[in-house]
Structure 1
Amino acid sequence: MKTILYIIQKEFKQIFRNKAMLPLIFVLPLIQLIILSNAATFEIKNIKFSYIDNDKTSFSRNLIAKFDASTYFNVITDFPSYKIANAAMLKGDVAVILEIPPYFERDLLKNKKINLSVIINAIDGAAAGVENVYINQIIKNFNKNAQATLIQPSVPTAIGIKNTPKNITSITSFWYNKTLNYKTFMVPGILVLLVTMITLFLSGMNIVREKEIGTLEQMNVTPIKKHQFIIGKLFPFWVLGMLLLTIGLIIARVLFNVPMVGSISLMYLYTSIYILVILGMGLFISNYTDTQQQAMFIAWFFVVIFILMSGLFTPIESMPQWAQFLTEFNPIKFYVEIMRMVMLKGSNFTDILPQFMKTLVYAVVMNGLAVWSYKKTN
């Protein structure tokens, strides 16, 4: 035990002596958490909106006013013709063109069918789909209000009172994110990303660095046992990972006001197991690389795949079936799910038990492979 403590003490001294590593551990993750949580959003706002009003009546102006009042659209200008509007979209000056046909008000008063032309820049297909939903919702509400205005009030008849049309209304209740704040959804995932990347890169490069400077060969011929060396080398990065989680949770609460409904201790319990998975991966990578650059490139290769298939930025349900199957072997996916479940839903240990058991098995297998692949010569 004393041998392990000496190695741990040596590792902490080595970490804090390295002036280049300290900002990488403590400063960069905090800056990334703050920046990425604000930048990584799929909300569509400030859509460049333009229109061609061929009717120029109170009803057409009222429709344009609906778009102008929306927080999603930024009404740029109106165009006298479709040709000019099309040229503006080609330059990227506008993203949406709404063309109101002639006799719009007259046909609406006569209850005739009206076709509105909506042109959307669909280079980004996902954004265009969201914009289309926003536009249809505004037009639907406008049509509903217009029809209510045009309906004559009920008047008594010889038989009774004439019935008026009745609408079906739905009452929506938003659970777990009542304000629909996208940061509430993204911050837990970004925190997972930072804990994963920092612990993986540091643990992977740390042992490779020993190879580069030649100290690993010296330690291999000492009486230090294999398990003592590995525990002593990886434990400091386990502590740093838990410290990063603590700092990230504080920032999430204080700066982004992310709710923490569930148990904090449950998040720490799962994270302690999850970091073992990442440290095992880092050790496994370092055993087959000779330079820090090689370790960085290999670690980055796997991290990018794991992140893109974790459900952090894209829903897993939208992936092909084969990709959904592969995500069952992705530890980052489990961590993202559990962080969101515990922080936002208040899930308990029973709720996260399937992901917890998979991560525990992953930790045993990954660290077993890492220890097996580490060669120590006495």
Structure 2
Amino acid sequence: MKRLKVILEKEFRQVFRNPAILRLVLVMPVVQLLVFPFAANYEVKNVLLSVVDHDHSSYSQKFINKITGSGYFKLTDYSPSYNQAMKAVEADKADLIIEIPPAFEKDLIRDNKASMLIAVNAVNGTKANLGGAYAANIVRDFNSEIQMQWIQLPRFSNQPVIEITSSSWYNPTMNYKFFMVPGILVTLLTMIGSFMAALNIVHEKEIGTIEQINVSPITKVEFILGKLIPFWIMGLVTLTLGLLVSWLFYSIIPVGSIS
């Protein structure tokens, strides 16, 4: 235990004499927590939408209201034809075209099915894939809502209908930053708690002091603990700073028991 205490004292002195390590432990986590949640965001919003409505019915208007009210799409063009909507895409005024055919409502009520065209500008691959996926999910949701309404009509059935809804327990608003901030904090703790300890051992070999440690009377366990414990303690400091930044800038606080 006495030898371990001497090793820990030596490691802490070495850390405090190196300003680069202090910057990595104190400054880097704060900067990453402030920048990365805004930069590393794969959630696409405000996809520019062009609508071509040949039906002009109540169902087509409901669908347009649903897709524009989702928060992912921004209606920037309402064209009378598909060719006119393509001009909006070529002018970079639209990323996605939805064409509702004539007799959309009629086919939906009479045949219990209807078709529509979703054309996505694939110049921006990420935006195209996510925008198309968002639109497909909204179409499925709209289809489910219509089926639920029809089932509840007396001419179809007078039985009660069970509706299933889902919600995220710890992130009910599905704010992307609430997912990113804890993930970044865990990554930082992993880097400081283990990765930097490994780099410290490599640094010992580079400057030649590892040979002196090899001939010293310390054991392997004492050497490894002497390298890990200082960075574990600094990891706790980083965790405290990270939780403070999360609380001040993102209103994210730990909830529940830690046991």
Distance 1:249 1:175, change over 3 A: same
Give structure 1 stretches of 5+ with no counterpart: 152-161, 267-378
Distance 2:220 2:108 in 1: 85
Shift of 1:76: 2.0
User: Which residue of the other structure, out of 225, 232, 252, is the alignment partner of 1:231?
Assistant: 225
Q: Does 1:176 align with 2:180?
A: no
Distance 2:59 2:165 in 1: 29
Q: Does 1:240 align with 2:234?
A: yes
SS in 2 for 1:176: coil
Between structures 1 and 2, the one with greater helix share: 1
Distance 1:83 1:232, change over 3 A: same
Letter in 1 for 2:136: N
Shift of 1:22: 1.5
User: Which residue of the other structure, out of 115, 128, 139, is the alignment partner of 1:135?
Assistant: 139
Q: How does 1:183-262 map to 2 (within 5 A)?
A: 183-258=177-252, 260-262=254-256
The percentage of counterpart residues that share the same residue type is 39
8 Å contact 1:44–1:130 — kept in the other structure? Answer: no
Q: Does 1:48 align with 2:48?
A: yes
Shift of 1:16: 1.8
Shift of 1:32: 1.7
8 Å contact 2:108–2:114 — kept in the other structure? Answer: no
Letter in 2 for 1:177: Y
8 Å contact 2:67–2:73 — kept in the other structure? Answer: yes
Aligned residues: 251
Give structure 2 stretches of 5+ with no counterpart: none
8 Å contact 1:45–1:73 — kept in the other structure? Answer: yes
8 Å contact 1:44–1:131 — kept in the other structure? Answer: no
Shift of 1:99: 0.6
Distance 1:173 1:70, change over 3 A: closer
Q: How does 1:257-336 map to 2 (within 5 A)?
A: 257-258=251-252, 260-264=254-258, 266=259
8 Å contact 2:33–2:184 — kept in the other structure? Answer: yes
Q: How does 1:86-105 map to 2 (within 5 A)?
A: 86=86, 88-89=88-89, 93-104=93-104
Shift of 1:126: 5.8
SS in 2 for 1:168: coil
The TM-score with structure 2 as length reference comes to: 0.75
Which residue of structure 2 aligns with residue 31 of structure 1?
31
The TM-score with structure 1 as length reference comes to: 0.54
Distance 1:77 1:232 in 2: 65
Shift of 1:88: 4.9
Shift of 1:170: 0.8
Distance 1:237 1:143 in 2: 58
CA RMSD between the two structures: 3.6
Q: Does 1:14 align with 2:8?
A: no
8 Å contact 2:171–2:178 — kept in the other structure? Answer: no
Distance 2:241 2:121 in 1: 41
Instruction: Choose 69-78 or 248-257, whichever is displaced more.
Output: 248-257
Letter in 1 for 2:4: I
Letter in 2 for 1:134: I
Letter in 2 for 1:206: N
8 Å contact 2:77–2:85 — kept in the other structure? Answer: no
Distance 2:27 2:219 in 1: 35
